[in-house]
Amino acid sequence: MKNDTGNKIKLGIFITAGSVLLLVAIYFIGARQHLFNRTIMITGIFKDASGLMVGNNVRFLGINVGTIDGISIMTDSTVRVDMQIEQDIQKFIKTDSKAIISSEGLMGNKAISLTPGDSGVVIKDGDSIATIKPADMDMIMAKLNTTADNASAITTDMAVITKNIRNGKGSVGKLFSDTVFADNLDKTLVNLKYATKGFGDNMEAAKHSVLLKGAFKRMKKEERQEKKEEKREMKEEKKEEKKEEKEKEEGK
């Protein structure tokens, strides 16, 4: 008799604990799916669902404000997504807000992000919201692969060029490894320096030459005359400006 009573008590405790756990689970699942909150339904038309699933989150300013209630194919190029949004958030979502498919983390589940609007008109239950085409991750990855291949090819080419330079191949390689070529280049630069200096000395001597002295004097005279003309023009422009300012003041 005592054993039967103990078993019944254990069974009652087990059933009670199971019922409590079940109610807690229902509460958390319902809270996640917004079953206990007042909600509104809005719709977005996308060209590609991009892996969205019923039950995925709807986010506004990074906060979960609803869930995806349904996904249906409308045509061969459009998909309708029904979103269940908390009624308390309705006042922040405007008629010109937009929906875009995003990811929760780098490799997380897909979600829909709502952007704030500026129209001032609040969206209503059953309204449709504009959508933005999401970035194509496959295309982005393909471009990254192409960039990586190009970088690898450039690295290979640089390695070949460096090797040729070390082995003394090509003009640059000869410059670093061939001492004769380097010496000739140094001599050429020295000769060029002397030639430039000699040209300057010749020009200085020409200025003092009896035959060319008059020509240099005329050149200097013309330069002085040009400078005087520029100064005179500047003075005339200033006079004209002052005259105009004075006429404006008298007109007032």
pLDDT for residue 136? 63
Among 154, 170, 186, residue at a domain's last position: 170
Task: Quickly state the pLDDT bin for 79 (edges 50, 70, 90).
Answer: very high
Rounded to whole angstroms, how far apart are CA atoms 77 and 48?
8
For residue 64, the cross-strand partners are 59
CA dist., res. 96 & res. 28, Å (int): 33
Which of 89, 107, 134 marks a domain boundary? 134
Q: Is 130 found in the same domain as 143?
A: no
State yes or no: pLDDT of 82 exceeds 90. Answer: yes
Residue 154, pLDDT score: 85
38-52, 72-86, 201-215, 237-251: least confidently modelled range: 201-215
Same domain as 45, residue 130:
yes
* Segment among 36-45, 105-114, 135-144 with least mean pLDDT: 135-144
Regarding whether 104 and 75 lie in a shared domain, the answer is yes
Mean pLDDT across the chain: 76
The pLDDT assigned to 163 comes to 75
Domain count, the chain: 3
Q: Has residue 65 got a pLDDT over 80? A: yes
Asked whether residue 184 is domain-assigned, the answer is no
Q: Are residues 61 and 97 in the same domain?
A: yes
Contact 102, 134 (CB under 8 A): yes
Residue 113 pLDDT greater than 80, yes or no: yes
56 and 28 co-located in one domain: no
**Per-residue pLDDT for 37 more than 70?**
no
Is the confidence at residue 202, as pLDDT, over 60? no
User: Per-residue pLDDT averaged across 30-38, rounded?
Assistant: 58
Residue where one domain finishes, among candidates 134, 158, 179: 134
pLDDT band at residue 33, thresholds of 50, 70 and 90? low
Quote the domain boundaries for residue 153: 139-170
DSSP assignment of 27-82: HHHHHHTTSSS-EEEEEEEES--TT--TT-EEEETTEEEEEEEEEEE-SSS-EEEE
Report if residue 229 sits inside a domain. no
User: Whose CA is closest to 52, among 31, 69, 33, 34?
Assistant: 69
Residues 129 and 43 in one domain: yes
- Please check whether residue 218 lies inside any domain of the structure: no
42 shares its domain with 127: yes
Query: Does residue 145 belong to any structural domain of this protein?
Result: yes
Residue 158: predicted pLDDT: 82
The pLDDT of 62-68, averaged and rounded, is 88
Residue 252 is assigned to a structural domain of this protein: no
Q: Is residue 209 scored above 60 in pLDDT?
A: no
Regarding whether 112 and 63 lie in a shared domain, the answer is yes
User: Is position 65 within any domain?
Assistant: yes
| pLDDT level of residue 19 (50, 70, 90 thresholds) | confident
Choose among 235, 198, 228, 203: nearest CA to 216.
203
The pTM assigned to this predicted structure is: 0.44
C-alpha 192/C-alpha 181 separation (Å) is 17
- DSSP alpha helices (H): ranges in the chain? 2-32, 137-166, 170-177, 179-207, 210-251
Q: Report yes or no: 134 and 50 within 8 Å, Cβ to Cβ.
A: yes
In the three-class reduction of DSSP (H, G, I as helix; E, B as strand; rest coil), residue 169 is classed as: coil
In whole angstroms, how far apart are CA 181 and each of 79, 129, 164, 187, 195?
Answer: 72, 74, 16, 10, 21
